[in-house]
Structure 1
Amino acid sequence: MYTGLQHLHSYTTYLVLLGVGISFLLALAGWLGNKSFTDKNRKLSLLGLIPTHLQWVIGLILYFVSPLGMSNFSGEAMKDSTSRLYILEHPLTMIIAVVLITIGYSRAKRQLGDSRGFKSIAIFYGLALILILSRIPWNAWPNN
C-alpha cells in the first residue's frame, strides 16, 4: 500500500504543476489584459484547485503510513535535513500552498464580471506555485 501511495503521490504532482501553472498563466493574461472574469474563467481555475486538493489528501494519508512521515518524528530527525524535509518542511509548505490556492479561488468566484477575479487567482496561485516548487523533494522525483 505504501509504495502504491508513494507512486500515486509522486505522479499526481505532474497534474498539480500543470493545473496550477495553466490556471496561473490564464489568470495572469486575463489580469494584465484587463478582461472580465467570467464563469468560464472560474471553471478553468478549477484546473489548479482540484488536483491540488486531491494531492493533499493523498499526501495526508501518506504522511501517516510512511516510515518517513509522522512515525519518524523526533529531535534527532530534525537535525537531518532530509528527514526534516519529509517530516516538517514539505507537509507544512504544501498545506500553506493548498490554503493559498483555496483562498485565491474562493475570492475569485465572488468577483465574477470584474478583472479582480483574475488578480486573486494570479497572486494566490502564483505564490502557491512558488511554494510548491520550493519544497518538492527533487532528489526523490520519479525518473531520477
Structure 2
Amino acid sequence: MTLYSFFKEFHSGFRYIVIVLVLLALVRAFMGWLGKRPYGEGNRKLNLFAMISVHTQFLLGIILFFISPMVQFSKETMKNPITRYWTVEHWVMMIIAIALITIGHSKSKKAALPEAKHKAIAIFYLIGIVLIAVGIMLIPQ
C-alpha cells in the first residue's frame, strides 16, 4: 500500500464519521431549536466533536492534496474535468463548508440563549453538510 492509497482510503472512510457526527449534531440542534429545549453539556460536546471531525478530515485532505496524482498544476488542468475537480473545485467547496461549520460553532458558543445556540448550529451545520454532500456527489467517476 502506497502512502497515497493509505491517505486516500483513510480520508474516504473518515468521511462517514464526519457525516454521522454532523448529522447527529444537526438533529439535536433542530430538536433543541424548534422544541425550545435547553442547551446542555451533551449538545456542546457533540457539536465540538462534529467540528473536530471536520477539521481532521480537512487535515487529511491537505495531505492528499500534496501527494495525489490527481492534483496537477499545468495548462491542461482546467480543460480536464477530473484534474480541475481535484485541483480546484473539491477543496474550495470543502473549505467553505468547514468555515461555515466553524462559524456556526463559534456563534453557538457566543450566544447567550439556548435557542440561539441551537439555531446557530442548525443553520450553519446544515449549510456546511449540504456543501459537503454536493462536493462528494460531484466527484468525477
Could you say whether these structures have the same fold, taking a TM-score greater than 0.5 normalized by the shorter chain as the test?
A: yes
Distance 1:62 1:92 in 2: 14
2:114 corresponds to: 114
User: What is the letter of the counterpart of residue 105 of structure 2?
Assistant: Y
Per the normalisation by structure 2, the TM-score is 0.90
Per the normalisation by structure 1, the TM-score is 0.89
User: What is the letter of the counterpart of residue 30 of structure 1?
Assistant: G
2:57 corresponds to: 55
2:8 corresponds to: 6
Shift, 1:79, TM fit: 1.5
Q: Deviations over 1:71-111 (max 9, x none)?
A: x1233121222211111111011011111111111111122
State the 4+ residue runs in structure 1 displaced beyond 4 angstroms.
137-140
* 1:1-144 correspondence runs (5 A): 1-69=3-71, 72-111=72-111, 113-136=113-136, 138=139
Shift, 1:20, TM fit: 0.8
Contact kept? 1:96, 1:128, Cα under 8 Å = yes
RMSD: 1.5
Contact kept? 1:107, 1:120, Cα under 8 Å = yes
Distance 1:85 1:102 in 2: 24
**5+ unaligned residues in a row in structure 1: which ranges?**
none
Q: Deviations over 1:1-43 (max 9, x none)?
A: 1110111010001111111111111101111111222333111
Contact kept? 1:24, 1:122, Cα under 8 Å = yes
Structure 1 vs Structure 2: percent identity of aligned residues? 38
The alignment partner of 2:69 has SS state of coil
User: What is the letter of the counterpart of residue 38 of structure 1?
Assistant: G
The alignment partner of 1:79 has SS state of coil
The alignment partner of 2:111 has SS state of coil
